């Protein structure tokens, strides 16, 4: 029996859902803390360059593979490369990476629910900035609370994905993404009035390459993949729900620009707090939770603004987590003929269990010696391995596939269908066949110390 594949209800619905996947904790939580740990402006510049010359071209490549095959990752590769069995493995790498990311994404998103509730209880009242900052440390060490919110968030994700593509994803994304962007913009304008703003702007926008390590270069690459949701088959799967008349290159540029813009606005809103109150930029994963409440506490209507902000934060995390779960579900349905319900439950429970060690990373209740052995706690290890290694590797293989193995005519046809940007075809082909693979390989070789330069 062949099933008619479900398609996006409308063009704007598709853009909003893809933007919903892209904009999320990556821009608001991960980018600012990575930027602080990797020395500021040089990291931002690299992130921007990687997004423009590598990320967006890969994003376009994934949409093309998805739409051309009308399948999810594993089947897409077997369909488009019928002579070789090995490309299926890339699909499996994507699935595995999605699992890892969803597992810890849900823990962080769970903390945002916790912050929404704390905001409602006006938790910053009468506290100094350092005392507000210290609350995050307590949360990080509280295993039970972290696991509890992780569970709640995963249940929300599962509930939405269970509802199906159009009803679930599209509906929510259309309302919530713009709402958050409006609030962000307002907060950014407020942050410009803080005394630390110009120092922050200099820190973020002025590239000082002496502060950038080789790991920083790899992290910037991974960061660009993470915010665009590429290298793990999500955009590919979303592309498979796309109709033929839609404009693939344009979608790539729109999403790429939105995610870079949101990341930079988020940083411009968070770093003024750091410089105004004398915090350290290298706070690590808690950065956004330590700084934003300090900002909110200074505003009139703290309880209201802070609560609304964290509720929206939860929602944009949801629009990303549902995209992660959707890839897993779409694949399991297609590969094993499972019902949607079975696929959703299996993936949701799996990712929940895998997230538990992350939720316990701060308390040290599990894997006590992890940090001493691996140099990073469990959470940071999963975050680093999946984002800085597995996503770039997945993306690299994707462009090698589309540039060198997929039927050339089909690739060009898909690129050109529905777009007016026909002149970009050759530039894009050059980027995905030569520039992007070579650049990614060089970054990896440099990080593995196979080659070194200064
Ligand atoms: N792009 C999302 C974000 O920035 C995270 C994500 C990564 C979502 C990979 C799906 C896949 O938050």
CA of 89 to the centre of ligand 1 (A): 22
Mean pLDDT over the full length of the chain: 89
Q: How far apart are alpha carbons 332 and 98 in whole angstroms?
A: 13
Q: How far is the CA of 143 from the centre of ligand 1 (A)?
A: 24
For residue 6, tell me if it sits in a domain. no
Residue range(s) defining the domain that contains residue 200: 11-447
User: In sequence order, which residues have a C-beta less than 8 Å from that of residue 97 and are 6 or more positions away?
Assistant: 231, 232, 386, 390, 391, 394
2 part of a folded domain: no
Cα of 37 to ligand 1 centre, how many Å? 20
The torsion of the CA quartet 265, 140, 219, 387, rounded to 10 degrees, works out to -100
Going from the Cα of 383 to the center of ligand 1, the distance in angstroms, rounded, reads 12
* pLDDT score of 223 more than 90: yes
Average pLDDT estimate for 237-264: 90
Question: Is 357 among the domain residues?
Answer: yes
pLDDT of residue 138: 94
How many domains does one find in the chain? 1
The C-alpha atoms of residue 260 and residue 426 are separated, in whole angstroms, by 24
The Å distance, Cα 323 to ligand 1 centre, comes to: 8
Kindly state if the Cβ of 26 falls inside 6 Å of ligand 1: yes
Task: Note the pLDDT tens digit of each residue in 283-321.
Answer: 888 999 999 999 899 888 889 989 988 988 898 898 899
Task: Please compute the mean of the pLDDT values over residues 47-67 and round it to a whole number.
Answer: 96
Q: Residue 154 C-alpha to ligand 1 middle, in angstroms? A: 15
419 lines ligand 1 (CB under 6 A): no
Q: Does residue 377 lie in a domain region?
A: yes
**Ligand 1 center–CA 19 separation, angstroms:** 10
Task: Quickly state the pLDDT bin for 1 (edges 50, 70, 90).
Answer: very low
User: Ligand 1 pocket test: which of 21, 59, 173 has the largest number of ligand atoms within 8 Å of its C-beta?
Assistant: 21
Residue range 16-32, pLDDT digits in tens: 778 888 888 999 999 99
Indicate the pLDDT class of residue 86, thresholds 50, 70 and 90.
confident
Q: 3-state class of 7 per DSSP?
A: coil
Rounded (5°) CA angle 264-230-341: 115
Can you tell me which atom of ligand 1 is nearest the CA of 317?
12
Please indicate whether residue 25, judged by its CB atom, sits closer than 6 Å to ligand 1: yes
Residue 224: name the closest of 196, 190, 188, 263 by CA.
263
Encoded tokens for 335: 């590969």
- 223 CA to centre of ligand 1 in angstroms: 10
> With pLDDT > 90 as the criterion, what percentage of the chain qualifies?
59
User: Does residue 245 form part of some domain?
Assistant: yes
Q: Whose CA is nearest to atom 10 of ligand 1?
A: 229
pLDDT of residue 437: 96
- What average pLDDT score do residues 48-66 get? 96
C-alpha 22 to ligand 1 mean position (Å): 5
Is the pLDDT at 428 greater than 90, yes or no? Answer: yes
pLDDT above 80: residue 9: no
pTM for this model (two decimals): 0.92
Taking 70 as the threshold, does the pLDDT of residue 167 lie above it? no
Query: What 3 state SS string does 215-254 have?
Result: HHHHHHHHHHHHHHCCCCCHHHHHHCCCCCCCCHHHHHHH
Q: Of ligand 1's atoms, which has the minimum distance to the CA of residue 316?
A: 12
Tell whether ligand 1 has an atom less than 6 A from the beta carbon of residue 223.
Answer: no
| Residue 232 near ligand 1, beta carbon < 6 Å | yes
Give the residue, out of 18, 19, 24, with the most ligand 1 atoms within 8 A of its beta carbon, to mutate for a pocket test: 24
pLDDT at 394 over 80: yes
Ligand 1 center to 227 CA (angstroms)? 5
**Residue 229 Cβ < 6 Å to ligand 1:** yes
Give, as one character, the DSSP assignment of residue 300: T
- Whether ligand 1 lies within 6 angstroms of the CB of 55 is answered as no
Q: For residue 454, is pLDDT > 60?
A: no
> Residue 289 in contact with residue 136, Cβ under 8 Å?
yes
227 lines ligand 1 (CB under 6 A): yes
Percent of the chain with pLDDT over 70: 96
- To test the pocket of ligand 1, the residue of 35, 227, 385 to mutate (highest count of ligand atoms within 8 Å of its CB) is 227
Whether residue 174 has pLDDT greater than 80: no
Higher pLDDT, 276 or 171: 276
Whether ligand 1 lies within 6 angstroms of the CB of 320 is answered as: yes
* Residue 1 covered by a domain: no
> What is the pLDDT at residue 425?
95
Pair 454, 77: CB distance under 8 Å: no
Q: What is the phi/psi pair of residue 348, to 5°?
A: -65, -45
Higher pLDDT, 103 or 17: 103
Residue 85: pLDDT band (50, 70, 90) is confident
Residue 266 belongs to some domain of the structure: yes
| pLDDT exceeds 70 at position 429 | yes
The CATH number covering residue 89 comes to: 1.20.1740.10
> What is the token pair recorded at 76?
């897409």
Q: Which atom of ligand 1 is nearest to the CA of 22?
A: 1
The rounded Å distance from CA 140 to ligand 1 centre is: 22
If pLDDT is split at 50, 70 and 90, which confidence band does 2 have?
Answer: very low
pLDDT at 6 over 80: no
Pocket test for ligand 1, best of 320, 347, 391 (most atoms within 8 A of CB): 320
Tell me whether residue 423 is in a domain: yes
């Amino acid at each position: 029996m062949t099933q008619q594949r479900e398609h996006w209800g409308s063009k704007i619905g598709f853009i909003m859902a893809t933007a919903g996947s892209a904009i999320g904790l990556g821009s608001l939580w991960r980018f600012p803390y990575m930027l602080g740990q990797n020395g500021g402006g040089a990291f931002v510049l690299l992130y921007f360059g990687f997004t423009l010359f590598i990320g967006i071209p890969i994003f376009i490549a994934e949409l093309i593979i998805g739409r051309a095959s009308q399948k999810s990752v594993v089947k897409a590769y077997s369909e488009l490369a019928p002579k070789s069995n090995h490309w299926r493995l890339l699909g499996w790498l994507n699935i595995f990476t999605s699992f890892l990311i969803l597992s810890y994404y849900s823990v962080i998103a769970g903390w945002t629910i916790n912050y929404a509730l704390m905001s409602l209880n006006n938790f910053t009242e009468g506290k100094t900035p350092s005392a507000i900052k210290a609350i995050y440390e307590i949360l990080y060490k509280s295993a039970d609370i972290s696991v509890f919110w992780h569970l709640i968030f995963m249940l929300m994700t599962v509930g939405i994905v269970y509802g199906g593509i159009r009803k679930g994803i599209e509906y929510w994304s259309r309302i919530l993404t713009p709402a958050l962007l409006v609030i962000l913009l307002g907060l950014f304008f407020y942050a410009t009035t803080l005394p630390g703003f110009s120092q922050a702007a200099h820190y973020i926008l002025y590239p000082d390459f002496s502060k950038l390590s080789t790991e920083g270069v790899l992290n910037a690459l991974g960061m660009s993949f993470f915010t665009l949701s590429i290298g793990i088959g999500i955009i590919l799967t979303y592309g498979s729900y796309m109709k033929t008349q839609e404009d693939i290159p344009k979608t790539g540029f729109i999403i790429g620009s939105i995610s870079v813009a949101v990341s930079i606005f988020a940083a411009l809103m968070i770093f003024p707090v750091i410089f105004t109150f004398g915090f350290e930029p290298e706070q690590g994963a808690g950065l956004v939770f330590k700084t934003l409440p300090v900002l909110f506490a200074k505003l009139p209507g703290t309880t209201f603004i802070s609560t609304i902000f964290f509720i929206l934060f939860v929602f944009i995390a949801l629009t990303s987590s549902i995209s992660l779960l959707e890839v897993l579900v779409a694949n399991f349905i297609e590969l094993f003929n499972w019902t949607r319900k079975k696929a959703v439950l299996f993936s949701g429970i799996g990712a929940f269990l895998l997230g538990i060690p992350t939720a316990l990373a701060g308390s040290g209740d599990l894997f006590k010696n992890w940090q001493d052995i691996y140099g990073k706690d469990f959470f940071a290890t999963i975050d680093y391995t999946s984002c800085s290694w597995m996503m770039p590797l997945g993306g690299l293989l994707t462009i090698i596939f589309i540039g060198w193995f997929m039927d050339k005519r089909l690739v060009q046809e898909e690129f050109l269908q529905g777009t007016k940007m026909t002149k970009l075809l050759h530039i894009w082909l050059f980027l995905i066949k030569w520039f992007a693979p070579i650049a990614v390989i060089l970054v990896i070789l440099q990080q593995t110390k196979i080659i070194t330069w200064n």
